[in-house]
Structures are given as structure tokens and as C-alpha cells.
Amino acid sequence: MATIFQKIINREIPADIIFEDDICISINDITPQAPFHALIIPKKLIVRVGEAEKTDQLTLGHLLLTAQKIAREQNLDEGFRIVINNGTDGGESVPHLHIHLLGGRKLTWPPG
């Protein structure tokens, strides 16, 4: 069964796409937790970071550099947060690796 992210990548359901290339897609989160909250999703299905393989190394690095690029484009010069949830206890809600990029306000710690 395809995840919601696979359906977005395949254009089976709409999303507010802010970036896309051959490796990943980035969309605005539908329930933002900060003034700016985007998801960066690899097009290749990697269930979660805890199950990534050595062959996923370039994709994982690309996701982080994409987050950096989007943060610059969004003028998050004062700071931003990158979050990857892993497993139910880690807050994972979709079994398809994705990075949360949050910014636009002072973020507190601990996050949750």
C-alpha cells in the first residue's frame, strides 16, 4: 500500500509543492508547527532513518542539503530546526522517511 507521500510524489493527491528534483520533493506541512514548516521527502521509499542502508547515503545527504537550500530561500537566517521522527515513540506518523524543516520564530527546547 502506497503512503500518502508516495501518492503526492505520483501526483495522485494534491500538495503545496515548494521544491522538487530527481531525488526529493518538498511540500508545506498541512499542520504547521511553526510559521514555516516544510517536509522534505525522498522519492525513493526509505521507511525510516533507522532502516536506511549504506546505499541511501547520498540520498540522506541530499535531503539535508535541500533543507539548507530551502531555509536560505525562506530567509530563515536567524535559525531553523530539522527534525526526523523514527518509530511510533519518536513521533513517526507516516512510514516514509521525511525531514521536517521548521523556522520563522524562536524554537524552544526540549521540543516535546
The verdict on whether 96 is a catalytic residue reads no
Question: In the block, which residue shows the cell 513521533?
Answer: 91
Does residue 16 contact residue 5 with C-beta atoms inside 8 Å?
A: no
- The C-alpha angle 24, 25, 31, rounded to 5 degrees, equals 135
Of 37, 96, 98, 100, catalytic: 98
Region label for 44, one of left (φ > 0), alpha (ψ between -120 and 50) or beta (otherwise):
beta
* Residues acting as catalytic residues: 98
